[in-house]
Amino acid sequence: MTLSDNPIGASYLYLMEPEVRFLEAAVEHLIPTDDLGPGARDAGVVVYIDRQLAGSWGSHGRNYRGGPWLEGTPQQGYQSRFTPQEVYRIAIREIDQHCKAAFDRPFAQLARDVQLRLLEQMEKDEVALPSLSSKFFFDLLWRNTDEGYFSDPLYGGNRGMVGWKLLGFPGLPTSEYRDLITSSEPYRAEPVSVLDVQTGKVPVDAQGFPRHVMIKRDREN
Amino acid sequence: MPATKLKSVDVVVVGSGVVGSIMSMELANAGMSVVCLERGKQFDISTDFNASNVYDELKFDRHSDIFQNLARDTLTFRNNGGQTALPMREMGAFKPGEMVGGTSAHWGANARRFLPHDFAMRSQIEQRYGKSFIPEDCNLQDWGLEWDEVEPYYDQFENIFGVGGKAGNLGGEIQEGGNPHEGPRSREYPNPPTRQTYQGEMFAKAARSLGYVPFQGPTAAMTQDYRNLYRVQMLQCIHGGFCSSHVCSQGAKANPLTAVLPALMRQKTFELRPLCNVLRINKDSTGKKATGVTYIDARGNEIEQPASIVILGAYCFSNTRLLLLSGIGTPYDPRTGKGVVGRNYAYQQGGSVEIFFDDREFNPFIGGGMVNTSIDEFNGDVIDRGPLGFIGGAYFDNSARGAAPIKGKPVPPGTPRWGSEWKKAVARNYRRTLNIAMHGTCLSYKQNYLDLDPTYKDAFGQPLLRMTFDWHQNELRMMEYMTERCTEIGRALGGSRIGGKSKGTHFSIVGYQSTHNVGGAVMGDDPSTSVVNKYLQSWDVSNLFVVGGSAFPQQPANGPTETIGMLACWAADAIKENYVRSPGSLV
């Protein structure tokens, strides 16, 4: 099985194969596939995380990196000397080592209920890792999963705008909002993304707004 | 290598935000030569911000390069003097800007004046409740300004920023439809008020049922096409969201880029220099006169810009830090209570109540332009706080901000943080939640202050600013009371469940709250408790003016930008009309 042998045929800039496998399994628990629609894995969240790690944010390009590095209080925020790139690389390796020691196989190959329990333990900082806090990693992973599922598809996640369809968020506004501001009628439109505009899939008018295609619905869900 | 010394100018202005742009405009317009130094990049709003990038929450709200570059400099933070302050390594509670246009380029356009009470809180509280009503460690103080003095400058700022609203008090006469608790206005707003949303109508009805007087809060997003005092045209807002944290693609949100710079750049005696980081203000041998500023330019050269007048018009943190780095004014010492620079740092309290409906659906993505329905019954001195045992107040509003999909997904209390149940709750409630926000005062305390960090340095080798700050009992009690009142309105709205958010007992630098940081170089009528006099002029160095949120002795409930703009107009007038004729102390 190749790395791009996955539902979305993705390729990766930063992540290595065991990391991709780990993340595909983990993010699918955070936002699962269900009758409301695709979960985080099929929405491309792992690709999103990969692109973010490979970009400026992954090396904290605009964040303060000077030492000394002290632990700090929860109110003092991110104080790790590791960049997000390093956090993902170190944490996934150490969680997989933990899983191999306890269950003889890496996280991605564990039964779903065992994976779920491990994630719950990580969230409570109950999985002891040698180099960093499992809760610190979990919180970062959850933040990035949420971002990946709901940000513009430009960034590799939210494929098919599944996150926006889940909410009923139409993406880019239209100039008709000027008068719809007072409306009590639910407004339902097919979402339009920045990606759609950049690729020319959706044209914009002279003012720079797309035209929305309305969704017809028989009944309230 | 010694700094390159340039030819002297009349005025050097640090920062190109609300203060820097307006003061540059006013002084250049009066014929003075003005150089404005800005650390950030320059954008062309007619081409740079459009549908191909601007409606992007990740780009502008999360990973924005129009906010301060923390890799170069940040601040350190601790809750109290017993802790070691550590750097704010990633953007959190607030988002100081870094571009030509400053922080206000990405503001939310909330354009409220303060109440007359806000300028005289200490004297009015003492008079009404006695001295002992004020907590002993509270540095509450008056501004040294009278309402009648500043009202014309509020009016001037509103006619630059095209503020839309309905007057509630015209020269003492209460007006139907406006805020009956506002200070007397000399005339109507330049633009009409916003229209009310469906949620706003529901909130207004519930508020009225409890005896309150709802009104459409003022906004600096254009409610119609508008040509301002500087003859600059701005277009009507279409309520497409992506307002706060973003630069408006339509140019409908008044800020330095849309309302001032088009006119300012035509001034022949004005020069803007972006990508310049000011290191310090220079003084002559007496230490009583500023000779100009030294900065690092875009190519990394150290440059000295001499000037007859220096205006610090940067963010609250930069204004305070530059005074400390330049050795101007006595730094505040929390052990003795003496010294003034860094004293009276304050933030903004607040919280929200969320009402979840089963039977109603909204369009939360339509908004922006600060469309809000508000009540002021709990603001300023409107309520009697004697029996309540706290000082300060809050206003409540239902605001259509344009709910962005990463940060705008409220869920009812008890919802798991992730997983299938969370996903269901998010899908269910994104369009079925009505939010009432509370915006509260934050007093100043002896223990909350700014100074230079002893350990951490910026990319130029200069000490970072250190913030020591935590919430005090007065603010927590105030918010407890406000949350009860706000929840009553929530109940009157119907809805199936009520939730909400509070800031917690201890201030945390994690997670965005508000970019309302004030104090550190406060104004007043006593040099032992203020850095600048009522004209924003340094007590120590008479040709230095320090203008901005840094001058607020404490934070009223209403957002700071309108009053920062008013102070810029006020100080510019003092320089043009009085200082230039007779340089020296204006008081």
For the stretch B512-562, pLDDT in tens is 999 999 999 999 999 999 999 999 999 999 999 999 999 999 999 999 999
Kindly report, residue by residue over A164-213, the tens digit of the pLDDT.
Answer: 999 999 999 999 999 999 999 999 999 999 999 999 999 999 888 999 99
In angstroms, what separates the C-alpha of B128 from chain A's closest C-alpha?
A: 37
Strands B9-14 and B302-312 come out as parallel
In this predicted structure, the answer to whether residue B431 has a pLDDT above a threshold of 60 is yes
Kindly report, residue by residue over A136-161, the tens digit of the pLDDT.
Answer: 999 999 999 999 999 999 999 999 99
Q: What is the pLDDT of residue B45?
A: 82
List the single best residue of A69, A70, A177 to mutate versus B (max B Cβ within 10 A).
Answer: A177
Diameter of chain B measured on Cα atoms: 73
Q: What share of chain A is helix, strand, coil (3-state, %, to 5)?
A: 45, 5, 50
Q: By CA distance, what is A38's nearest residue in B? A: B423
Chain A residues near residue B69 by CB distance under 8 angstroms: 62
C-alpha angle B143/B145/B151, rounded to 5°?
A: 130
List the single best residue of B363, B471, B510, B512 to mutate versus A (max A Cβ within 10 A).
Answer: B363
In angstroms, what separates the C-alpha of B302 from chain A's closest C-alpha?
A: 23
| Residue B2 pLDDT grade (very low, low, confident, very high; cuts 50, 70, 90) | confident
Q: What is the pLDDT of residue A221?
A: 45
Q: What is the pLDDT of residue B519?
A: 98
Average pLDDT value for chain B: 97
Chain B residues near residue A68 by CB distance under 8 angstroms: 455
Kindly report, residue by residue over B204-263, the tens digit of the pLDDT.
Answer: 999 999 999 999 999 999 999 999 999 999 999 999 999 999 999 889 999 999 999 999
Contact B397, B217 (CB under 8 A): yes
Strands B34-37 and B270-273 come out as parallel
Q: What is the pLDDT of residue B150?
A: 97
Q: What is the pLDDT of residue B320?
A: 98
- Pairwise CB contact (< 8 Å): A168 & B430: yes
Which residue, among B37, B20, B29, has the nearest Cα to B305 in the 3D structure?
B37
Chain A residues near residue B417 by CB distance under 8 angstroms: 123, 142
Contact B339, B330 (CB under 8 A): yes
| Residue A218 pLDDT grade (very low, low, confident, very high; cuts 50, 70, 90) | low
Kindly report, residue by residue over B242-251, the tens digit of the pLDDT.
Answer: 999 999 988 9
A103 touches chain B (CB under 8 A): no
Kindly report, residue by residue over B100-117, the tens digit of the pLDDT.
Answer: 999 999 999 999 999 999
Cis peptide before A68 (omega within 30 of 0): yes
Q: What is the pLDDT of residue B46?
A: 80
Q: By CA distance, what is B65's nearest residue in A? A: A62
Q: CA A213, CA A191: separation in Å to the nearest integer?
A: 8
- Pairwise CB contact (< 8 Å): A181 & B506: no
Q: What is the pLDDT of residue A4?
A: 65
A68 touches chain B (CB under 8 A): yes
Q: CA B344, CA B522: separation in Å to the nearest integer?
A: 7
Q: CA B71, CA B39: separation in Å to the nearest integer?
A: 14
Question: For the residues A63-82, what does the mean pLDDT come to?
Answer: 96
ipTM for the whole complex: 0.96
In angstroms, what separates the C-alpha of A70 from chain B's closest C-alpha?
A: 8
Q: CA B316, CA B318: separation in Å to the nearest integer?
A: 6
Q: CA A157, CA B55: separation in Å to the nearest integer?
A: 16
In angstroms, what separates the C-alpha of A191 from chain B's closest C-alpha?
A: 12
Classify each residue of B431-466 as buried b or exposed e, where b means 16 or more C-beta atoms within 10 Å of its C-beta: bbbbbbbbbbbbbbbbebbbbbbebbebeeebbbbb
| Residue B504 pLDDT grade (very low, low, confident, very high; cuts 50, 70, 90) | confident
Of A182, A208, A220, the CB nearest to B196: A182
Question: For the residues B455-479, what does the mean pLDDT come to?
Answer: 97
- Pairwise CB contact (< 8 Å): A171 & B55: yes
Give helix A84-103 / helix A45-54 axis angle, nearest 10°: 130
In this predicted structure, the answer to whether residue B187 has a pLDDT above a threshold of 70 is yes
Chain A residues near residue B420 by CB distance under 8 angstroms: 32, 34
Q: Is B209 helix (H, G, I), strand (E, B) or coil?
A: helix
Q: What is the pLDDT of residue B50?
A: 86
In angstroms, what separates the C-alpha of A9 from chain B's closest C-alpha?
A: 24
Q: Is the dihedral of CA B240, B241, B246, B247 positive or negative?
A: positive
Chain A residues near residue B406 by CB distance under 8 angstroms: 146-147, 150-151
- Pairwise CB contact (< 8 Å): A207 & B250: yes
User: How far does CA A66 lie from the centroid of its chain?
Assistant: 28
**Those residues with Cβ within 8 angstroms of residue B67's Cβ, 6 or more apart along the chain or in another chain:** B91, B95, B96, B97, B98, B106
Active site positions of B, annotated: 516
A181 touches chain B (CB under 8 A): yes
- Pairwise CB contact (< 8 Å): B509 & A63: no
Of B89, B236, B400, the CB nearest to A64: B89
DSSP codes, B456-479: EE-TTSPEEEEEE----HHHHHHH
Chain B residues near residue A61 by CB distance under 8 angstroms: 71
A214 touches chain B (CB under 8 A): no
Which residue, among B490, B228, B467, has the nearest Cα to A77 in the 3D structure?
B467
Calculate the alpha carbon distances from A65 to B77, B434, B554 in Å: 15, 40, 32
Kindly report, residue by residue over B258-312, the tens digit of the pLDDT.
Answer: 999 999 999 999 999 999 999 999 999 999 999 999 999 999 999 999 999 999 9
Question: For the residues B54-59, what does the mean pLDDT come to?
Answer: 95
In chain B, what percentage of residues exceed pLDDT 70? 100
Q: By CA distance, what is B470's nearest residue in A? A: A75
Contact A174, A212 (CB under 8 A): yes
In angstroms, what separates the C-alpha of A208 from chain B's closest C-alpha?
A: 6
- Pairwise CB contact (< 8 Å): A64 & B87: yes
Neighbours of A216 (CB within 10 A): 5
Which pTM does this prediction carry?
0.97
